[in-house]
Amino acid sequence: MDYNALSELLFPNIKKTPEEIEAMFPPRQLPEGAKVTRFAPSPTGFVHFGSLFPTMVGERLAHQSGGVFYLRIEDTDAKREVEGADMDIINSYASYGIFFDEGICAGGEKGNYGPYRQSKRAEIYQTYAKKLVEEGKAYPCFCTEEELSAIREEQEALKANPGYYGRWAKYRDADLETVKEKMADGLPFVLRFRSEGNIENKIKFTDLIKGAIEITENDIDHVLLKSDGIPTYHFAHAIDDHLMHTTHVVRGEEWLPSLPFHVQLFRALGFKIPKYLHISQLMKMEGGSKKKLSKRDLGAGLSYYVSEGYPAKSVKEYVMTLLNSNYEEWRAANPKADMNDFAFSIKKMSASGSLFDFDKLNDISKNTIAHMSADEVYDEIVKWAKEYDTELYDLFTRDSEYAKRILSIGRGTPKPRKDLCIWKDVKPYVGLFYDELFKVEAEIPANFDKEDVKKALTMFTETYDEKDDANEWFAKLKVIAEKLGFAPETKLYKKNPDDYKGHVGDISMFIRIALTGKTNSPDMYEVMNILGKERSLSRINNAIANI
Ligand code: GLU
């Protein structure tokens, strides 16, 4: 077979050589040891929560080493493409504080290794395809859909492995004349890889997360270019990762089965094989067994966390604890440190699948919010509420100082309060501070004598002085307790419960319900300071009137 003639026949319009293309993508000038990583999504319109894992790893590895992290849009499958999906991807990651140094971005593209959209690189792929044909490593296949189904059916009947390989690969050894005839007839063709693999053999491979692995060789003559000349993902990504000088490919483990083919491709093209990190898939517990977190599961889409109001910081904290086994320990020792100060290490990544756990995420989120400053919490809430809760947005922006005072309660102490887990929790939490949201949700338990309750509340209003400090404030509650036959100390009551009607904690509960409408609230002394004397006492007087 005259492969040169075949390559000219198939690609008459390709005039460039791979060498010329290589010259357009010179080696990157980066410090020793710098890693080049990429995120290479297909714009299918759904950003999976799980994609945060490879993205965060890629980002950390690149930026920790002075390297480059870029975004490549893998849009070679027009059937799966969704309009605007690429901007969704960019915006989703931006809201997580993940930015790309190169690639597709809001204003278009940046970087010297583009185009970063595969659909714009057809000529590049075809140049390499032509070279493979010249070297006898790829060939045209004119099989129709019907022929391919017939092959499948026959394979099924014979219980043979499915696929286009060996004796089933009808056009693998077609001669030049046959190809010429088919082309003269205007028949469409795909370009296939001529696999030299054998399923009796295994390829040995070291994945930086999974360690040494062995996978059966690929013997399928996979499609490299579709009949419209557009490459498959497999072919395109090998060329792109080479030309864009990717040093570390970080991606989901669902790509592991394709690895033997990818390795063959890199070798056939004469490319250096990048290092691989295949990240385990995210699992969930269902009916006592582990299952893949699928698209339909609650929390599978990244947008869910945004609309619920999980701070991006919390979600990233959570992902980090799953990604690096020593992260949690580091965070405990450095509660205020920036996440990026943590020395991320590939060695601390687990080879087995992480279990998605909302409780853990919620715990982390409460802790994360508790350690934020009131200003930061305020800014985040306003940003979220603008889109998802306009009532809250209006209340918070009407008087930002007031909102910040509320958010300051218990903040900055060694054991900060953990009332908020998501921004959706904010409105119920701050409602008591806004007359338009204030509701009495709790009742004073019926086992207390109504007259005692009334008296306690009245005495409180009579003795309240806004100049009291927290100790003086509480001392007055004790006096009220004693006067009404309640124990001034809880422990006294516990010792001799029959001697008292209740204890000082009950008096404070009466006031809390009258003032906040709830049995649980932030520190009452602080609440009254923020509400001010007039509003506080008017709420208590209202409660008295309703007893
Ligand atoms: N475009 C592939 C995807 O949609 C990327 C696989 C890779 O990272 O190599 O997941």
Choose one of 37, 70, 71, 74 to mutate for the ligand 1 pocket test, by most ligand atoms within 8 angstroms of C-beta: 74
Res. 430 pLDDT band, cuts 50 70 90 = very high
- What pLDDT does residue 3 have? 97
- The number of the ligand 1 atom at minimal distance from the alpha carbon of 39 is 8
Choose one of 48, 53, 89, 233 to mutate for the ligand 1 pocket test, by most ligand atoms within 8 angstroms of C-beta: 233
Choose one of 36, 39, 42, 118 to mutate for the ligand 1 pocket test, by most ligand atoms within 8 angstroms of C-beta: 42
Atom 2 in ligand 1: which residue has the minimum CA distance?
41
Q: Which of 42-46, 50-54, 140-144, 426-430 has the lowest mean pLDDT?
A: 42-46
∠338-417-422 over CA atoms, to 5°? Answer: 70
- What pLDDT does residue 129 have? 98
Is residue 319 within 6 Å of ligand 1 at its C-beta?
Answer: no
pLDDT tens column, 382-418: 999 999 999 999 999 999 999 999 999 989 888 888 9
- What pLDDT does residue 297 have? 87
pLDDT tens column, 257-272: 999 999 999 999 999 9
- The number of the ligand 1 atom at minimal distance from the alpha carbon of 44 is 4
Residue 448 has pLDDT above 80, yes or no: yes
- What pLDDT does residue 493 have? 95
- What pLDDT does residue 312 have? 95
- What pLDDT does residue 289 have? 87
Res. 60 pLDDT band, cuts 50 70 90 = very high
Res. 541 pLDDT band, cuts 50 70 90 = very high
Comparison of pLDDT for 86 and 171, the residue scoring more: 171
Residue 525 has pLDDT above 90, yes or no: yes
Residue 208 has pLDDT above 90, yes or no: yes
Residue 7 has pLDDT above 80, yes or no: yes
How much of the chain exceeds pLDDT 90, in percent?
Answer: 86
The model carries a pTM of 0.89
What secondary structure, in 3-state letters, does 45-63 show?
CCCEHHHHHHHHHHHHHHH
Is residue 238 within 6 Å of ligand 1 at its C-beta?
Answer: no
Residue 483 has pLDDT above 90, yes or no: yes
Is residue 46 within 6 Å of ligand 1 at its C-beta?
Answer: no
Res. 535 pLDDT band, cuts 50 70 90 = very high
Please name which of 316, 253, 277 lies closest in space to residue 97, comparing C-alpha atoms.
Answer: 316
- What pLDDT does residue 22 have? 97
Instruction: Confirm if 54 and 88 have CB atoms less than 8 A apart.
Output: no
Question: What is the CA(108)–ligand 1 centre distance, in A?
Answer: 21
Is residue 233 within 6 Å of ligand 1 at its C-beta?
Answer: yes
Is residue 40 within 6 Å of ligand 1 at its C-beta?
Answer: yes
- What pLDDT does residue 53 have? 94
Kindly state the average pLDDT of the residues 361-384.
96
Question: What is the CA(41)–ligand 1 centre distance, in A?
Answer: 5
Query: What's the half-sphere exposure (Cβ side, CA atoms, 13 Å) at 486?
Result: 24
Is residue 237 within 6 Å of ligand 1 at its C-beta?
Answer: yes
Count other C-beta atoms under 10 Å from residue 248's C-beta: 21
- What pLDDT does residue 298 have? 85
pLDDT tens column, 313-358: 999 999 999 999 999 999 999 988 999 999 999 999 988 878 889 9
Is residue 255 within 6 Å of ligand 1 at its C-beta?
Answer: yes
How much of the chain exceeds pLDDT 70, in percent?
Answer: 100
Burial category of 542 from C-beta neighbours within 10 Å (exposed 0-12, middle 13-18, buried 19 and up)? exposed
Angstrom distance (rounded) from CA 89 to CA 73? 10
Angstrom distance (rounded) from CA 244 to CA 541? 72
Is residue 41 within 6 Å of ligand 1 at its C-beta?
Answer: yes
